Chains A and B, each alone.
Chain A
Amino acid sequence: MQFNLNINNQSYSVDVDPKTPLLWVIRDTIGLTGTKFGCGVAQCGACTVHLDGLPIRSCSLPVSAVKSMKITTVEGLSKDRTHAVQKAWIAEQVPQCGYCQSGQIMSAVALLSKNPNPTDEEIDSAMQGNICRCGTYIRIKKAIKRASLELSGKNTK
């Protein structure tokens, strides 16, 4: 079946089974491989993308459910790694293997765009769906706080 998708402000026309999870359409049909497969059952968050700005697990969402909603993947955050969250991730040297980090970053971006000044509890709650097997959590938290400083205008640098 034919679907028209808006990903990172570009339109794509794809012909796939309507039940195909959005994840595989993004990765295999369209070729944006920054979004990762980790569990297939919305338990790990590696496949997190935004639908109209809200974080969703693309491994568990059939492509037919997307309709006209705008999809943002990690590739769509900036052209040159200059989104505040990407910069913070580099500054705090967060990634180890890096496989889960696209999903982590998308969850963090969704949090901060809604709430540029989150409390620890709000960070915990927004990030609890994203697993990192390398165990980079304390740096993820630091990076979110660093990005928060920039996004909320408190960064004096």
Chain B
Amino acid sequence: MTINRRNFLKNTALTGSALGLGFYFAGKETVLAKVGQVKELELNPYILIDTAGKITLMNPRPDMGQGTYQSMAMLLAEELEVDINEVHILMTDGKQKYGSQLSGGSSSVRVHWEPLRKAGATARTLLIRAAAQTWQVSEEECYASNAKVYHKPSAKSLAYSELVEKAEKLEIPKEVKIKDKKDFKIVGKAMPRQDIPMKVDGSAIFGMDVKVPGMLYASIERPNAIIGKIASLDDSAAKAVNGVKQVVKSSRFVFMQQAETVAVIATNYYAALQGRKALKVTWDCGEHAKFSSQAYFDKMKAIASQEGIKHEEKGNFAEAFKTSAQTLTADYETPFLAHASMETECCVVSMATDPQAPIQCEIWAPVQGADWLLGDLQRALQIPPDKVKIHVTFLGGAFGRKAFYDFIVEAALLSKQMQAPIKLIWTREDDITQGPFRPAMLSRMSGGIDKNGNITAFEHKIVGGSIQNQWGGLQKDKADEWAMEAVSPEKDSPYAIPNYKISYAHAETKVPLLWWRSVYSSTNAFGHESFVDELAHLGKKDPMNYRIELFKDAPRFEAVLKLLAEKSKWNEKLPKNKARGVAIARSFESICAHVVEVEKTKDGIKINKVTSVIDCGMYVNPDTVRGQTEGNIVMGLTAAIKDGITFENGVVQQRNFDTYRVLRLQETPEIEVHIIENNEHPGGVGEPGLPPIAPALTNAVFALTGKRIRKLPFALDEV
């Protein structure tokens, strides 16, 4: 039974959503090079082998630091039997044949775990078949190793490059065998990352680094309250700046909203910035200019007192709450946050001046999902996907922000107006003040315990804005499914609490919202895990051992906490000036728990150490798992103890890293990460370390000071 190549994706359980064209080399030396000058044969969409011996692996998941540049290639190389350090790795371009190409939701490894290995195994099978036919021997006598096929009895061998022309003509086998975990040669090993050498000498090409002939630079002034119209504009001084070519009115599309903007186009970026500073522009932001984040939290508190929409319930919370020996209700608040990746939003877009040109729009950009970008371009600019060519660069951080393509559309509009390629660079102030932001959320927690201190009733009511409703996705009388992360009594937080309810209440806002690393898991876990801690203390129970007991029917959770208790020496007493806190969360199909140790010093509270355990099932690279967890801890600590995004009169009050501060090296605690070994299907790695860090910290602060932190961010020197 054979299948043709067109059905390859279908048969390897991948699906695609968009079309595209073109390839991109991520290294500097080939930044503008095109595939096509080399004769290459495609054994399947992910594997190209040329007759001279070059092996190219197509990487469907953009790398924003999380390690997909390596992990996707490792899955292919493991089964293809090639040396990961000898292959070329290219980013895919959004074309449908590559399937889903969005780096998001910590999904890359867990989605591609089997399909990419099958792609590798399929190609290997074809190459072995081609060799067996050449030698007229049985395939069973042949095996592949290090880009060659060997005939065991005779020790003859042929390189893949010698076999590829024959292999390419063979029918693709429907069934291929992929390896068991015990047979992995590279998957599961701490292999040095192939992108890292390029990142120590400046040769890795990010979106910020792209240059194309004839390009102009743009900087854009946008409404101070994000959405608005130009009330008045005097651009005479801007146009007088040396190097400024033009000042144009343009637009920014923010979900279903649209902002008028003023773009300054210049021959160099500094001139564009100077021109922008010289603009005299006033805005009419209407209702948007009235937004206050404090008022929004007041509104959320009022909404939290309403019944809300039930999402999931075990037992009967209301009844049990009424009959509990002691009850507690508390609100937990998490702020709006900006992503603030080190590389701001930037891109180069070149719109064709000839309407007959086969490519109407060419893009070089740090984007999380080229396939999604194709859809956005079609909607905003009516460019069909087959007339777009996307070159995905390395992403200088993204955290969700670069899965929203407003900045690409901005540059495309300007390129069209100026009839020239445009390099658009957002300033740091643009990045921090213009959103979209992580939603500000409120958790109304209610719980009760019996006379023995056991939790009898527990409710988490999630209140806040809806990311999906910006596309009109929210259904009336239904909870926002996207916002229910990390709290499901069944899957994500399986405490043995008999009456356990998750509910939702929508708090409408026009503030643009977006996925921010670990999304609603980051906001939900704070209230959820803090409140478990509150109830444990109310019942005079040890927060770690109490949780372990409550996970008696959830062995993976129990195992994580048991290892964490051991590694953090939880049961060893600390001196009075030190204390520990614990929290656990399951998000993106992985479980992660942290113990934070804090100390009282004369300058306030100091975070000494974070001990962490993650169960992400099987993994590709344990060093990447550790690195991502370390990074999640640092980013989560920043979110907990640095600055939130606040609004007054619709204007964001933070502007750059002086007012929107980020944890620095000297503030970073010691971090120790342990990985659970098992044979479970891979879970996410890029995000699950983040949600439990804030509650682990504030639980530690409570243990140290008796003060319960219910609002983030908070200052360690002000507790």
Contact = CB atoms under 8 A, between A and B. Distances in A.
A64 interface: no
B657 A131 contact: yes
A97 B396 contact: yes
Given A33-B209, A97-B65, A39 B270 contact: no
Given A40-B427, A99-B343, A138 B201 contact: no
Contacts of B63: 97
A12 to B, nearest CB: 16
Given A40-B427, A90-B197, A98 B192 contact: no
B665 A137 contact: yes
Interface in B644-663: 656-658, 662-663
B592 to A, nearest CB: 15
Contact of A95 (B199, B398, B623, B657): B199
B340 interface: yes
A31 B212 CA distance: 12
A98 B243 contact: no
B201 A74 contact: yes
Secondary structure call for the B interface? loop
B190 to A, nearest CB: 8
Interface string A5-35: 0000000000011011100100111011111
A25 B558 CA distance: 56
B342 A99 contact: yes
Interface in B626-646: 627-628, 630-635, 638
Contact of B343 (A28, A73, A97, A138): A97
A27 B270 CA distance: 12
Contacts of A125: 666
Given A17-B271, A93-B193, A35 B202 contact: yes
Interface in B1-57: 28
Contacts, number: 191
B627 A105 contact: no
B683 to A, nearest CB: 19
Interface in B200-251: 200-206, 208-209, 211, 217, 242-243
Interface in B602-645: 623, 627-628, 630-635, 638
B573 interface: no
B38 to A, nearest CB: 26
B585 to A, nearest CB: 18
A138 B668 contact: yes
Contacts of B344: 37-38
Given A17-B271, A98-B396, A135-B632, A34 B201 contact: yes
B269 interface: yes
B208 A36 contact: yes
Contacts of B340: 133
A69 interface: no
Contacts of B204: 98
Contacts of B631: 96, 134-136
Given A128-B664, A132-B342, A135-B631, A43 B201 contact: no
Contacts of A96: 65-67, 627-628, 631
A74 B301 CA distance: 51
A95 B635 contact: no
Given A40-B428, A41-B428, A131-B342, A137 B634 contact: yes
Nearest to B66: A96
B75 interface: no
A133 B342 contact: yes
A31 B202 contact: no
Given A97-B64, A132-B342, A135-B631, A36 B396 contact: yes
Contacts of A130: 664-665
A139 interface: yes
Interface string B342-371: 111000000000000000000000000000
| Band of interface residues on B | 35 or more
Interface in B312-368: 340-344
Contacts of A74: 200-202
A97 B269 CA distance: 24
Contacts of B662: 131, 133
A154 to B, nearest CB: 22
A89 B332 CA distance: 40
B668 A137 contact: yes
A90 B396 contact: no
A135 B663 contact: yes
B397 interface: yes
Nearest to A121: B666
Contacts of B395: 97
B397 A133 contact: yes
B65 A17 contact: no
A117 interface: no
Contacts of A34: 201-203
B268 interface: yes
B664 A24 contact: no
B83 interface: no
A71 interface: no
A75 B65 CA distance: 21
A86 B200 contact: yes
Contacts of B634: 132, 134-135, 137
A124 interface: yes
A105 B65 contact: no
A89 B200 contact: yes
A100 to B, nearest CB: 5
B342 A46 contact: yes
Nearest to A104: B665
A133 B211 contact: no
A43 B432 CA distance: 14
B196 interface: yes
B670 interface: yes
A140 B671 CA distance: 13
Contacts of A70: none
Contact of B200 (A32, A37, A39, A90): A90
B196 A95 contact: yes
A112 interface: no
A133 B671 CA distance: 16
Nearest to B672: A138
Nearest to B205: A33
Contacts of A94: 196, 200
23 contacts: A24-B269, A28-B211, A33-B28, A33-B209, A38-B657, A39-B657, A74-B201, A81-B201, A95-B196, A96-B65, A97-B395, A97-B397, A98-B396, A99-B342, A99-B396, A101-B200, A124-B665, A127-B666, A133-B341, A133-B635, A133-B662, A134-B342, A134-B631
Given A74-B202, A97-B343, 7 more contacts: A24-B270, A28-B269, A81-B197, A86-B201, A98-B206, A133-B340, A141-B665
Q: Which 8 A-B pairs have the closest CB atoms?
A: A34-B202, A135-B634, A99-B396, A97-B65, A98-B199, A96-B65, A124-B666, A135-B631
